[in-house]
Amino acid sequence: MIVLVLVGLAIASIPVFGGSFSELTKLPIRGTWLILFGFGIQFVVISIYPAMSHDVAVAIHLASYAFAVVFFLLNRKIAWMWAVGLGGCLNLLAIAANGGVMPASAWATEVAGNFEDAGEFANSTVVDHPRLAFLGDVFAIPDSWPLSNVFSIGDVLLVIGCVLVLHAGSGARWSRADHRASSDRSLRDETASLL
């Protein structure tokens, strides 16, 4: 949830940084349905029907990442999409290494007040002897704050990547300056090679 809220804020901030929503609509994103479907099935497993069989929930949870991988591959040439893909990859590594759930630290879970109901699937939970624990949900927004939750380094990279993709795609001032600097460097390199 926190990831979606932060991406929403990134979209809302586009005009503040000189970007244009009309430019954003020209971003050549392909297979949008894949990521929407992936999020949709995660939502069903985590929020709508968490009492389903654990094995079925794990299979669906992992399948949702398969949709995300295909979405990334279709859009990998978009500026900054590599950061989104890296964040998703780190999350998938941690989940796959821990039997289909994201390992959470006991500290982060307690700080965020994430207490799960027995017998229900939790996509993020404290795991005995976790593998790649440092990639798990080791950070927390405290229970007393809005949108309290646990999150991982992969989530941080996902949000940063989404912000960069959206702002670069909207033609935000910083991305135009970066593009001009890159073009100037290329021109200098070409000139130097001719001399």
Identify the residue whose tokens are 């009492």: 51
- Tell me the pLDDT tens digit for each residue of 84-131: 999 999 999 999 999 999 999 999 999 998 877 666 788 889 999 999
User: Could you give the CA distance from residue 173 to residue 168 in angstroms, rounded to a whole number?
Assistant: 9
**pLDDT attached to residue 51:** 81
- Tell me the pLDDT tens digit for each residue of 22-36: 998 899 999 999 999
**Residue 120 in contact with residue 50, Cβ under 8 Å?**
yes
Average pLDDT over residues 126-149: 93
Average pLDDT over residues 48-72: 88
Residue type, 78: I
DSSP-assigned letter for residue 140: E
User: Could you give the CA distance from residue 143 to residue 98 in angstroms, rounded to a whole number?
Assistant: 25
Average pLDDT over residues 7-16: 89
Percent of the chain at pLDDT above 90?
55
**Two tokens, residue 174:** 């910083």
Q: With H, G, I as helix, E, B as strand and everything else as coil, classify residue 113.
A: coil
Please write down the long-range contacts of 96-100, taking CB distance under 8 Å and 24 or more positions apart. Answer: 96/62, 97/131, 97/132, 98/127, 98/130, 98/131, 98/132, 98/136, 99/58, 99/127, 100/57, 100/58, 100/59, 100/61, 100/62
**Spacing of C-alpha 78 from chain mean position:** 15
**pLDDT attached to residue 194:** 52
Give the confidence band of 191 by pLDDT, cuts at 50, 70, 90.
low
* Contacts of 153 by beta carbon, 8 Å cutoff, 6+ apart: 87, 90, 134, 135, 138, 139
Average pLDDT over residues 127-146: 94
H or E element that contains 149: strand 149-151
**pLDDT attached to residue 192:** 54
Question: Per DSSP, what are the bridge partners of residue 70?
Answer: none
